[in-house]
């Protein structure tokens, strides 16, 4: 058994969200864990950018920011319903890459995320965001179906 000073509890939780059903279940679980441990909860939404191959540049779509606000608004309600006030982070770019950058920046103790996002067939062809995060993140990851 470890001494109390050597125990590492969950102090911070990161939840990447996309508005899918499994993402909402991840928020619910993460909020319950955060409340139980007195941990901070951060909701992260990654708004994709469109690549223009001819110009080799990226363009932000204002509709994506509106979608982020809707998703984060609903997820914030879920967290607050569990008695947790979440922090909000919005990033733009490739979803898995931006999640991993946020993990590197904030160094959460735990990532809780859904496994079935909104990408559909595109997600199957390009690989699962949750699988990439699970394989590359250097922290514990809980995947919620």
| Superfamily, domain 10-144 | HUPs (3.40.50.620)
At residue 139 the predicted structure's pLDDT band, cuts being 50, 70 and 90, is very high
Query: Could you report the per-residue pLDDT of 3-29, keeping only the tens digit for each?
Result: 444 446 899 999 999 999 999 999 999
Query: Could you report the per-residue pLDDT of 47-56, keeping only the tens digit for each?
Result: 987 665 555 5
For the cut 70, the answer to whether the pLDDT of residue 57 exceeds it is no
The domain segmentation of the chain, as residue ranges, is: 10-144
**Gap between the Cα atoms of 7 and 72, Å rounded:** 32
Count of positions (residues) in the chain: 145
pLDDT at residue 123, as a whole number: 47
Query: Could you report the per-residue pLDDT of 102-134, keeping only the tens digit for each?
Result: 999 999 999 999 987 655 544 444 458 999 999
Distance of CA 94 to the CA centre of its chain: 13
Average pLDDT over residues 20-47: 96
Q: Is the pTM of the predicted complex or chain greater than 0.75? A: yes
Average pLDDT over residues 41-69: 72
Q: Which residue did the predictor score with more confidence, 70 or 14?
A: 14
- What value does the mean pLDDT of the chain take? 85
């Amino acid at each position: 058994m470890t001494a109390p000073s050597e125990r590492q509890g969950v102090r911070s939780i990161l939840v990447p969200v996309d508005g899918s059903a499994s993402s909402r279940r991840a928020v619910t679980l993460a909020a319950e864990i955060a409340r139980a441990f007195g941990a901070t909860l951060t909701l992260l939404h990654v708004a994709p950018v469109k690549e223009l191959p001819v110009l080799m540049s990226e363009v932000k779509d204002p509709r994506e920011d509106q979608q982020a606000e809707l998703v984060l608004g609903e997820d914030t309600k879920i967290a607050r319903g569990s008695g947790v006030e979440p922090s909000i982070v919005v990033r733009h770019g490739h979803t898995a890459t931006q999640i991993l950058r946020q993990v590197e920046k904030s160094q959460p103790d735990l990532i809780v995320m859904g496994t079935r996002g909104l990408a559909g067939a595109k997600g199957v062809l390009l690989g699962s965001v949750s699988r990439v995060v699970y394989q590359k993140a250097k922290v514990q990851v809980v995947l919620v179906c």
